[in-house]
Amino acid sequence: MRNRLPVAILVLALGGCASSTATPRADMPPAVDVTGRWTGQCTKCPATGFTLTVVQRQSDVTRTVIVAGRHAFGDSEKPILSGKVSGNQFTFKAKGDPGDLWDVELVVQKDGKTMEGNTYYRGPVRVKFVRASE
């Protein structure tokens, strides 16, 4: 019985920690507004630049992305799919010419002028965007 008491306390403590986890970001209200035009660059990728033109309505984000340079994504304007803002995170997908999805997860800085994060399109890529206009 003595050995079970410390184990029970540990289980309750860990269970309490598990149940008090933060609300998932997907449920957080937007803390930023990403509406506007953004220009971006990536690290070690074949694209030479990005242009995002977005409109945010509450947590939903729509409009387009253009990827410039020699890459498989395609140079034409692509619609943003599943664009969402949760807290200070902006996530979206876009479909490249071959039909592959580009997944983007960005963190918007508090000043609202820059955002950066990780993307995946046929491999991981780090990107940074700067607000060009609102």
Query: What residues does each domain of the chain span?
Result: 25-133
The per-residue pLDDT for range 68-84, each reduced to its tens digit, is: 887 777 777 899 999 99
CA neighbor of 91 nearest in space, from 54, 122, 66, 123: 54
Confidence of residue 62 (pLDDT cuts 50, 70, 90): very high
The span from the first CA to the last CA of the chain, in angstroms, equals: 66
Confidence of residue 115 (pLDDT cuts 50, 70, 90): very high
CATH number of 25-133: 2.40.128.120
Q: Residue 5 has what pLDDT?
A: 41
As given in the structure block, the two tokens for residue 57 are: 């309505």
